[in-house]
Amino acid sequence: MRRTAALAAATGLTVAAALVLASPAAAQPPNARASKAPAADPRLKAAEAADKAVASGLDHLRKGPDETYWRRDVVPGAGGMYYVSYERTYKGLPVVGGDAVVVTDGQGRVRDTVNASGPHAENVPTRAKVTGEAATAKARTRLDRADDSAAPRLVVFAWDATPKLAWEAVVAGIADGKPSKQHVFVDARSGEILSSYDEVRAGAGRGYYYGQVTLDTRSSGGSYQMVDPTRSGLQCGGQGGSAYTGTDDSWGNGSGTDLETACVDALYSVEREW
């Protein structure tokens, strides 16, 4: 599995300590020497350290001239670690394929970074030629029966090599006789479908260690990829670095010498651990 992060434990950033000028001891109240300032909130320390890492462009946390990282959440994890998530935006628009996570400890030291591998958005037009209603109508064609839809949002689609302005339309209903809730990305300039993924996933994998399992995979243009559509930067493939692709959403044959089978075990275990 290819990782886009570099471990930063040895040289983790620390939150700069504030210098406090104390009054002379004789001028303090009698109990002042025994009292201690309350410990800093570890969530705040984590957020400050992560913000500094993002601002400095640590590891691969770089951004284009019109891009910005917005902190979304600080989530505590096992072993005293904190996971600080960010959404990359381009001129105020969310960049699909630009999310990032900074891992810190409770002392404000950066331990790791993970970011999606989408390219930087440059010279992407921000005015749509296709209306959101037309994009939703196009997205509904992905279903055999469309029962519901949400208001589309304008985004920069950066899963491909060239970022494009797109509508993200969410439509729910029935596809291939099964429940489906699809996120469909429609080119906001041409009206063509760029890609999609289904929240209702049932990719089948046959691993060597885990046996028959269900995987979160991505579908695009009638093919399937061993790329997780909701966990940034998570994919599995051959030794060349590219994710495995296939004409169906069935992976591996259970053999201990088959690399695709090894990817089933690896992808399944990481998705569960995540």
Render pLDDT for 137-167 as a digit per residue (tens, 0 to 9): 999 999 999 999 999 999 999 988 899 999 9
Is 221's pLDDT higher than 70? Answer: no
Is 220's pLDDT higher than 70? Answer: no
Render pLDDT for 197-216 as a digit per residue (tens, 0 to 9): 888 776 889 999 999 888 88
Residue 132 and residue 152 in contact, taking contact as beta carbons nearer than 8 Å: yes
Band of pLDDT at residue 74, cut at 50, 70 and 90:
very high
Band of pLDDT at residue 48, cut at 50, 70 and 90:
very high
> Which backbone phi and psi does 72 adopt, to 5 degrees?
-105, -40
Cα–Cα distance measured from residue 65 to residue 153, given in angstroms and rounded to the nearest whole number: 23
Indicate the average pLDDT of the chain: 82
Q: What is the pLDDT of residue 5?
A: 34
**Helix, strand, coil in percent for the chain, rounding step 5:** 15, 35, 50
Cα–Cα distance measured from residue 226 to residue 221, given in angstroms and rounded to the nearest whole number: 14
Percent of the chain's residues with pLDDT above 90:
50
Mean pLDDT for 52-68 is 88
Is 29's pLDDT higher than 50? Answer: no
pTM here? 0.63
Is 38's pLDDT higher than 70? Answer: no
Amino acid occupying residue 140: R
Cα–Cα distance measured from residue 180 to residue 149, given in angstroms and rounded to the nearest whole number: 12
Of 29-33, 39-43, 67-71, 121-125, the range with the lowest mean pLDDT is 29-33
Render pLDDT for 97-129 as a digit per residue (tens, 0 to 9): 888 999 999 889 999 998 876 788 889 999 999
